[in-house]
């Protein structure tokens, strides 16, 4: 994996379970899957995350559920090992995190059990719903998108610049997009490291 080397503070986890709230953002999804396509980490999710994504995506984007299903099928095809299968057994023993997010932790535990990954983390905007000490005890990391993408910038700045240029190509100023996505630290880096 390209995440090897460096200190623990700059290592990108081998496997990252991407929560629904992150996948629903077109900007975040494009950035993260752009990194995953270059093997900086392996994305993971579950059928529950997929169900939430399809249901909420159709509502948020105002499109037919069949269209969202087709988009999900494309993601599944692009990352065939991402779906962690039956995650129910991996909910056992969870107590301190919000029960509505146990399925995300279960997907991370399944990813840890089903692969040779040396590090697995959850990526979510809902950090407060996950008990850090509970995840640490399970050997799992926890990131919000801003912190995670800043870490990625430190490991693969050329790729991150390229992905940022693709986002900026849509015409809207990059700083406006990043602030709307609550990527404030990443925006500061982009402001200092990229041409205006």
181-186 average pLDDT score? 97
Interval 20-41: pLDDT, tens: 999 999 999 999 999 999 999 9
Interval 147-166: pLDDT, tens: 999 999 999 999 999 999 99
pLDDT of residue 3: 41
Based on the structure, what is the number of domains in the chain? 2
For residues 129 and 101, the answer to whether their CB atoms sit within 8 Å is yes
User: Is a pLDDT exceeding 60 seen at residue 182?
Assistant: yes
pLDDT of residue 127: 96
Residues 50 and 80 occupy one common structural domain: yes
Residues 103 and 185 occupy one common structural domain: no
Which residue, of 143, 160, 182, is where some domain finishes? 143
Q: What is the pTM of this model?
A: 0.92
pLDDT of residue 196: 63
Residues 53 and 29 occupy one common structural domain: yes
CA dihedral (71, 73, 78, 79) positive or negative: positive
Interval 56-92: pLDDT, tens: 999 999 999 999 999 999 999 999 999 999 999 999 9
Residues 20 and 114 occupy one common structural domain: yes
CATH number, domain at 105? 3.40.50.1010
Query: Containing domain of residue 42, as a range?
Result: 15-143
pLDDT of residue 22: 98
Residues 157 and 179 occupy one common structural domain: yes
Residues 133 and 169 occupy one common structural domain: no
Please name the residues in contact with 59: beta carbons below 8 A apart, sequence gap of 6 or more. Answer: none
Residues 53 and 103 occupy one common structural domain: yes
Residues 27 and 121 occupy one common structural domain: yes
Interval 92-142: pLDDT, tens: 999 999 999 999 999 999 999 988 878 999 999 999 999 999 999 999 999
φ/ψ of residue 18, rounded to 5: -95, 115
pLDDT greater at residue 166 or residue 1: 166
On whether residue 116 sits in a domain, the answer given is yes
On whether residue 69 sits in a domain, the answer given is yes
Residues 23 and 120 occupy one common structural domain: yes
């Amino acid at each position: 994996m390209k995440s090897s080397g460096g200190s623990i503070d700059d290592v990108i986890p081998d496997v990252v379970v991407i929560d629904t709230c992150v996948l629903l953002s077109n900007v975040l999804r494009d950035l993260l899957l752009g990194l995953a396509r270059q093997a900086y980490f392996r994305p993971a999710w579950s059928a529950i995350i997929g169900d939430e994504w399809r249901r909420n995506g159709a509502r948020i984007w105002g499109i037919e559920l069949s269209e969202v299903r087709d988009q999900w099928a494309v993601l599944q095809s692009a990352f065939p090992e991402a779906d962690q299968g039956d995650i129910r057994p991996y909910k056992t023993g969870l107590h301190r995190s919000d029960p509505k997010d146990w399925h995300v932790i279960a997907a991370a535990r399944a990813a840890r059990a089903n692969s040779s990954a040396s590090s697995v983390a959850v990526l979510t905007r809902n950090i407060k719903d996950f008990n850090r000490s509970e995840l640490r005890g399970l050997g799992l990391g926890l990131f919000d998108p801003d912190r995670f993408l800043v870490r990625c910038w430190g490991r693969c700045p050329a790729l991150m610049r390229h992905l940022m240029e693709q986002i900026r190509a849509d015409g809207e100023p990059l700083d406006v997009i990043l602030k709307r996505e609550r990527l404030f630290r990443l925006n500061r880096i982009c402001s200092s490291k990229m041409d205006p």
